[in-house]
């Protein structure tokens, strides 16, 4: 089962909303918004963008990793931070019919604001499991949500 969860996270990183990359080394020249500027993030990969969403889908390919009940400590600055409960598909016996496990000490960090058309959006997500970690997973999951 441990390898199935790792496979699900790896597959989602490769096929998800973003490219799952680390820092690109390319300097972001887009103007950074002030605290008064509305900054958005996709809440579920399908129904648009929201400011301070109560939940987010981390892996868009299969919705295998989600964070719900998010309490945002900061929003609108260069970095948004919040805590919630991560829900991870166990992929047991397989990802299509697997159940989910909750990890209540999930920490979210959103960064790299970009101008996407007329909107300002966070384009990088970092999810850190603060307590128990899903089998076969590392403590941190990183995803990219580029302008499309």
C-beta contacts of 86-89 below 8 A and 24+ residues apart: 86/58, 86/127, 86/129, 86/134, 88/5, 88/9, 88/64, 88/134, 88/137, 89/5, 89/8, 89/62, 89/63, 89/64, 89/65
pLDDT reading at 34 higher than 90: no
The per-residue pLDDT for range 70-101, each reduced to its tens digit, is 999 999 999 999 999 999 998 888 888 889 99
Tokens of 3: 């390898």
Burial 38-61 (b: 16+ CB within 10 A, else e): ebbbbbebeeebeebbeebbbbbb
Q: What is the pTM of this model?
A: 0.75
């Amino acid at each position: 089962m441990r390898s199935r969860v790792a496979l699900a996270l790896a597959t989602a990183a490769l096929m998800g909303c973003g490219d799952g990359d680390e820092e690109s080394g390319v300097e972001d020249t887009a103007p950074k918004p002030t605290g008064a500027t509305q900054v958005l993030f996709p809440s579920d990969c399908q129904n648009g963008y929201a400011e301070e969403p109560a939940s987010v889908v981390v892996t868009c390919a299969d919705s295998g990793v989600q964070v719900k009940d998010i309490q945002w400590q900061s929003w609108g600055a260069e970095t948004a931070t919040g805590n919630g409960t991560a829900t991870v598909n166990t992929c047991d016996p397989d990802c299509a019919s697997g159940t989910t496990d909750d990890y209540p000490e999930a920490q979210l960090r959103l960064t790299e604001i970009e101008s996407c058309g007329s909107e300002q959006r966070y384009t990088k997500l970092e999810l850190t499991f603060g307590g128990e970690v899903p089998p076969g997973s590392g403590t941190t999951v990183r995803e990219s949500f580029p302008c499309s």
